[in-house]
Structure 1
């Protein structure tokens, strides 16, 4: 039985790829890196502790494979997006708590900075935030304003961390049970 030669200069990806992973994979290949997509959290022997490894994936995947790759995970502070200059986000973004966000009575885009337990999306107001995810009131969330795109009629919010349309905006559906009419009315007032 022969063992494959250890790999160096590679990008490891999770089992499920998102748009960012696909873009990173294409870029890595152009730069001569091997791209390895794992089927699960088990790292193949030839990749364990191999030099030149790079990792892209969500927090759970990264935590499961980082030690076997001899990588230390770097995570930005929860407020890194909120601290970016307005020119990069084109939005006022605030780091707050889920408890504080529940008091808001205006439409908003809400997401957790790291974990994805709370569904990221547009909420008509804080009372519409889901309460059945076992999250405490002190859970950190990022909150930003929303606007309406008159070209498409969609309620939209910029997504600086993902691939977006050429104008930098991506449509966000109002969650099931959400007050689409209230969100659209707010966006209409904001656009005037």
Structure 2
């Protein structure tokens, strides 16, 4: 299964693609970030994120999308920006008929490091180790996106029953 992990953000949206299934080590396909210009208004920035994400979908043809679930933060503006970028990513995946699953940060940390309380450095180090990379991907948004993709691949996409049912229906066509 080819999974596109997305760590949503309005300035930097981490993207990472792995191939893998339950019980097998995942392999890195691609990693990076999609950026938007902070000088633009929010609508134009979201449009830039959408264009960048569309290029990743077109280039790498993922079979599933894993997005970090937005959680409450102290900075309300940051939560809103992240939620808007998350919605853009989910919409692109849904329009392409792909299963889109949201994973909480603690769920991803636990899957990758064994601890739901791991810090960013631990997540990056484990992503590098799992994917046999010489160093954690930079910036941290890119490593987080890979962690999302790994988490989803290892769980077989079954954390979201709707997404699993949709994938099953597509495979029967």
TM-score bucket (shorter structure) = under 0.3
Return the TM-score normalized by structure 1: 0.24
Bigger CA radius of gyration: 1
Task: Please identify which structure carries the higher helix content.
Answer: 2
Greater RCO (CA < 8 Å, at least 6 residues apart): 2
